[in-house]
Amino acid sequence: MERMRGTDEAKGGLSLDQLVTLADLKSVRDELLAAIARTKGSSPDTAKKWLKSSEVRKLLNISPGKLLALRANRQLAFVRLGGVIYYDRDDIEAMIQKAKVPTLVGKA
């Protein structure tokens, strides 16, 4: 039995007399949740000011044709650099606010 324990420890594994406590599991959980929160906080989609066409289509859930129509009708400003079209996130939010329809509150 002693011989097996020594080989497991040499390989970096757990020996038979080692236990993982509840506190150990909670510590690992907290570290993982903190790492996930840091990853979400630094997500490029939420922090990017300039978005490509595919990102705008995904954000607004629209087709390429609809995005082309928004550009053609001058409803959404854009910048073309080389062959890539970029959209300002602030312009997208302003377009959404402009299209917002107010609700009638308190009227029956």
Going by C-alpha positions, the residue among 52, 59, 47, 44 that lies closest to residue 87 is 52
91 φψ region: left (φ > 0), alpha (ψ -120 to 50), beta (else): alpha
Instruction: Give pLDDT tens digits for 78-108.
Output: 999 999 999 999 999 999 888 888 888 766 5
- Between the CA of residue 97 and those of 32, 59, 91, what are the distances in Å? 37, 15, 10
This prediction's pTM? 0.53
Chain centroid to Cα 92, Å, comes to 18
Residue 7 pLDDT exceeds 60: no
